[in-house]
Chain A
Amino acid sequence: ETGVTQSPTHLIKTRGQQVTLRCSSQSGHNTVSWYQQALGQGPQFIFQYYREEENGRGNFPPRFSGLQFPNYSSELNVNALELDDSALYLCASSLAGNHNEQFFGPGTRLTVL
């Protein structure tokens, strides 16, 4: 069984640029969630994808967007980067359903200068 993987590990961008982060879900999982974790804070829900469609969104602006592919992998795209977007971005995969455990990846550390 392969766990959740994310790429890249670290990324440095400048304000106004765009970034794409990638996530491969755990084998057999059809749901992917993305979280933003700022320094000293708990993870904050960005959105969730199920069957290639957004299935719930947190309090994040539209410049945060995503995709899910037929193999259940996912991308998080952030446009017009701001300094406050600097954070650890976590991907979690799970089976659909309220009680199912979410398995987290190691995260991508994004720094915006």
Chain B
Amino acid sequence: AQRVTQPEKLLSVFKGAPVELKCNYSYSGSPELFWYVQYSRQRLQLLLRHISRESIKGFTADLNKGETSFHLKKPFAQEEDSAMYYCALGRGTGGYNKLIFGAGTRLAVHP
């Protein structure tokens, strides 16, 4: 069964500290993986996707098929990074693209 697991409900760090939000997935095919973010009082928005291999707001994520992981990393956390982060697995063929979300990790960055 397809599943996304985010083991931490809350990650609390100080400003300037490194951040790693964990995501593990279960999927038999070639996965498409995403990180979505929800800032306070804002809607859910895409942060990055593995096929783009880009860095957004200093965040990167590498797909590790051997460990079935897609952890989100940032070397130096900022207070404005405080938000709810969701890892999502995209699946579908022929234009049918549903997202399977993890339960989310709340990142709190303290001054």
Enumerate chain A interface residues (CB-CB to B < 8 A). 4, 31, 33, 35, 40-45, 48, 50, 55-56, 58, 90, 92, 94, 96-107
Asked if A48 and B98 make an inter-chain contact with CB atoms under 8 angstroms apart, the answer reads yes
In the complex, how many angstroms separate the beta carbon of B94 from the nearest chain A beta carbon? 8
Contact with A along B72-111 (1 / 0, CB 8 A): 0000000000000010101011011111111110000000
Asked if B104 and A42 make an inter-chain contact with CB atoms under 8 angstroms apart, the answer reads yes
Is B56's CB within 8 Å of the partner chain A?
no
With contacts A42-B101, A42-B104 taken as known, whether A55 is within 8 angstroms of B96 at the C-beta atoms is: yes
Q: Which residue from A35, A56, A92 sits with its C-beta under 8 Å from B96? A: A56
Q: Which residues of B contact A41 (CB under 8 A)?
A: 103-104
**Nearest A residue to B6, CB-CB:** A42
Q: Which residues of A contact B90 (CB under 8 A)?
A: 98
Asked if A104 and B95 make an inter-chain contact with CB atoms under 8 angstroms apart, the answer reads no
Q: What would be 28 A-B contacts, judged by CB atoms less than 8 Å apart?
A: A4-B43, A33-B97, A33-B98, A33-B99, A40-B103, A41-B103, A42-B86, A42-B88, A42-B101, A42-B104, A43-B44, A43-B86, A45-B98, A48-B97, A48-B98, A50-B95, A56-B92, A56-B98, A58-B98, A97-B95, A97-B97, A98-B32, A98-B90, A101-B46, A102-B46, A102-B97, A106-B43, A107-B43
Asked if B97 and A104 make an inter-chain contact with CB atoms under 8 angstroms apart, the answer reads no
In the complex, how many angstroms separate the beta carbon of A34 from the nearest chain B beta carbon? 10
**Nearest A residue to B100, CB-CB:** A45
Closest 4 CB pairs of A and B: A42-B101, A96-B95, A56-B96, A104-B44
Contact with A along B59-83 (1 / 0, CB 8 A): 0000000000000000000000000
**Nearest B residue to A107, CB-CB:** B43
Q: Which residues of A contact B46 (CB under 8 A)?
A: 101-102
Asked if A45 and B93 make an inter-chain contact with CB atoms under 8 angstroms apart, the answer reads no
**Nearest A residue to B92, CB-CB:** A98
CA distance A40 to B10 in the complex (A): 11
Q: Which residue from B44, B45, B93, B95 sits with its C-beta under 8 Å from A31? A: B95
Q: Which of A42, A44, A96 counts the most chain B CB atoms within 10 A?
A: A42
Is B51's CB within 8 Å of the partner chain A?
yes
